[in-house]
């Protein structure tokens, strides 16, 4: 089987543990804020006016903005990507809605985006509403992987946001973030 770059048709490449250019990072955050503002109060129906093909393209457009929001610790954007009735299945869960996951997930965000650490997503695949990815956080001084996981989002494009998330996480160093790291996450 031929190797392929999962990012060849995306607006930015987050497959490596290196920052994107500053202007790209700025654009990704601005795009993320615009995308979050498109989410509708009611999950939009699939149909001829909102097809799986359109949703898949929107998910491809959204993906790099999600990566940059995590790299910058933008918990406000990350939370806004979810629907109010989110179902989140992971080893600590299940979580229902935004409030149940918020306390636990802020620790994860703080650890994987702390200073001296960078996240990367070597694999990302799209199929309609489904986005599957593998991620890892790398310590820039020691080059060790401090955490990794794989995730599936069921996301109804920009208009719907994420309504189901499944995740397997492995933390190699810390499980709870120190207070000074939690303060770095935008709420």
What does the pLDDT look like over 14-60, one tens digit per residue? 999 999 999 999 999 999 999 999 999 999 999 999 999 999 999 99
Contact partners, residue 178, CB within 8 Å, separation at least 6: none
pLDDT > 70? residue 143: yes
What kind and span of H or E run contains 151?
Answer: strand 145-155
Q: Is-cis flag, bond preceding 112, omega within 30? A: no
Contact between residue 157 and residue 59 where contact means Cβ atoms under 8 Å apart: yes
pTM given for the model: 0.90
Question: What's the pLDDT tens digit per position in 53-83?
Answer: 999 999 999 999 999 999 998 989 999 999 9
3.10.450.50, 3.50.50.60, 2.40.10.10, 1.10.357.10: CATH of 22-182: 3.10.450.50
List the domain boundaries for the chain.
Answer: 22-182
């Amino acid at each position: 089987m031929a190797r392929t770059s999962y990012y060849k048709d995306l607006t930015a490449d987050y497959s490596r543990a290196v920052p994107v250019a500053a202007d790209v990072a700025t654009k990704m955050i601005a795009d993320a804020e615009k995308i979050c503002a498109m989410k509708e109060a009611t999950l939009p129906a699939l149909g001829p006016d909102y097809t799986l093909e359109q949703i898949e393209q929107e998910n491809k457009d959204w993906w790099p903005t999600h990566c940059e929001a995590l790299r910058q610790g933008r918990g406000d954007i990350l939370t806004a990507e979810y629907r109010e009735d989110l179902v989140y299945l992971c080893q600590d869960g299940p979580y229902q809605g935004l409030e149940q996951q918020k306390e636990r997930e802020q620790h994860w965000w703080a650890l994987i985006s702390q200073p001296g650490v960078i996240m990367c997503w070597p694999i990302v695949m799209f199929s309609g509403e489904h986005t599957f990815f593998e991620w890892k956080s790398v310590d820039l001084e020691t080059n060790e992987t401090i955490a990794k996981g794989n995730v599936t989002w069921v996301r109804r494009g920009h208009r719907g946001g994420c309504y189901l998330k499944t995740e397997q996480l492995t933390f190699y160093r810390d499980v709870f973030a120190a207070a000074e790291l939690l303060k770095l996450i935008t709420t």
